A = this chain, B = another copy of it.
Amino acid sequence: MNFKEVSGGVCAPAGFTANGVHCGIRKNKIKKDFALIVSSVRASAAGVYTQNLVKGAPVIVTKKHLSDGYAQAIVVNSGNANTCNSNGIEIAEGMCEMVERVSGIPANDVAVASTGVIGQKLDLSPMLEHIGELYEGLGDNSSAAAEAIMTTDTVKKEVAIEFTLGGKTCRMGGIAKGVGMVCPNMATNLIFITSDVAISPAMLDKALKEDVKSSFNMVSVDGDQSTNDTCCILSNGLAGNEPITSDGAAFRLFRHALNYCTVKLSKMLAKDGEGATKLIECKVVGAKSLKAARTVAKTVIKSSLFKAAMFGADANWGRVLCAIGYSGAQVDISKIDVTFISRAGEVKVCENGFGLDFSEELAKKVLSEDEITVLIDLKSGVFKSTAWGCDLTYDYVKINGDYRT
Instruction: Give the shortest distance, in Å, between A253 (CB) and chain B (any CB).
Output: 35
A186-B392 in contact given A84-B354, A304-B224, A326-B53 (Cβ < 8 Å): no
Instruction: Give the shortest distance, in Å, between A219 (CB) and chain B (any CB).
Output: 15
In the complex, chain B residues whose CB is within 8 Å of the CB of A344: none
Instruction: Give the shortest distance, in Å, between A227 (CB) and chain B (any CB).
Output: 5
In the complex, the chain B residue whose C-beta lies closest to that of A313 is B403
In the complex, the chain B residue whose C-beta lies closest to that of A304 is B222
A327 and B373 alpha carbons, distance in the complex (Å): 29
A322-B401 in contact given A119-B354, A119-B355, A308-B396 (Cβ < 8 Å): no
- 8 A Cβ contacts from A219-233 to B: 222-227
In the complex, chain B residues whose CB is within 8 Å of the CB of A331: 53
Q: A385 within 8 Å of B by Cβ?
A: no
Q: Kindly report how many copies of this chain are found in the complex they form together.
A: 2
A185: which of B55, B120, B318 is its contact (CB, 8 Å)? B318
Query: Is B405 within 8 A of A360, CB to CB?
Result: yes
A84 and B364 alpha carbons, distance in the complex (Å): 21
In the complex, chain B residues whose CB is within 8 Å of the CB of A118: 318-319, 321-322, 355
Query: Is A319 within 8 A of B53, CB to CB?
Result: no
A400: which of B117, B223, B305, B403 is its contact (CB, 8 Å)? B305
Contact with B along A355-390 (1 / 0, CB 8 A): 100001000100000000000000000000000000
Query: Is B308 within 8 A of A84, CB to CB?
Result: no
A318-B83 in contact given A119-B354, A227-B325, A304-B304 (Cβ < 8 Å): yes
A52 and B331 alpha carbons, distance in the complex (Å): 11
Query: Is A325 within 8 A of B53, CB to CB?
Result: yes
Query: Is B326 within 8 A of A51, CB to CB?
Result: yes
A382 and B399 alpha carbons, distance in the complex (Å): 38
In the complex, chain B residues whose CB is within 8 Å of the CB of A143: none
In the complex, chain B residues whose CB is within 8 Å of the CB of A15: none
Q: How many residues of chain A are within 8 Å of chain B by beta carbon?
A: 64
Is the contact region of chain A dominated by helix, strand, or loop, or is it mixed?
loop
Query: Is A355 within 8 A of B84, CB to CB?
Result: yes
Contact with B along A94-120 (1 / 0, CB 8 A): 000000000000000000000001111
A54-B304 in contact given A86-B354, A119-B317 (Cβ < 8 Å): no
Q: A89 within 8 Å of B by Cβ?
A: no
In the complex, chain B residues whose CB is within 8 Å of the CB of A305: 186-187, 222, 224, 400
A53: which of B52, B119, B324, B401 is its contact (CB, 8 Å)? B324
Query: Is B314 within 8 A of A403, CB to CB?
Result: yes
Query: Is B316 within 8 A of A404, CB to CB?
Result: yes
A319 and B222 alpha carbons, distance in the complex (Å): 13
Contact with B along A39-51 (1 / 0, CB 8 A): 0000000000001
A185 and B226 alpha carbons, distance in the complex (Å): 30
Query: Is A309 within 8 A of B401, CB to CB?
Result: yes
Instruction: Give the shortest distance, in Å, between A135 (CB) and chain B (any CB).
Output: 31
Q: A137 within 8 Å of B by Cβ?
A: no
Query: Is A355 within 8 A of B52, CB to CB?
Result: no
Q: A85 within 8 Å of B by Cβ?
A: yes
In the complex, chain B residues whose CB is within 8 Å of the CB of A396: 304, 308, 397
Query: Is A308 within 8 A of B186, CB to CB?
Result: no
Besides A84-B321, A118-B322, A224-B303, 11 other CB < 8 A contacts? Answer: A83-B318, A84-B354, A85-B354, A118-B355, A119-B318, A185-B318, A186-B322, A304-B400, A312-B401, A314-B401, A316-B404
18 contacts between A and B (CB under 8 A): A54-B322, A54-B325, A84-B321, A84-B355, A118-B319, A119-B354, A186-B322, A224-B323, A227-B318, A305-B400, A311-B401, A312-B400, A314-B402, A391-B401, A392-B401, A393-B397, A396-B397, A397-B397
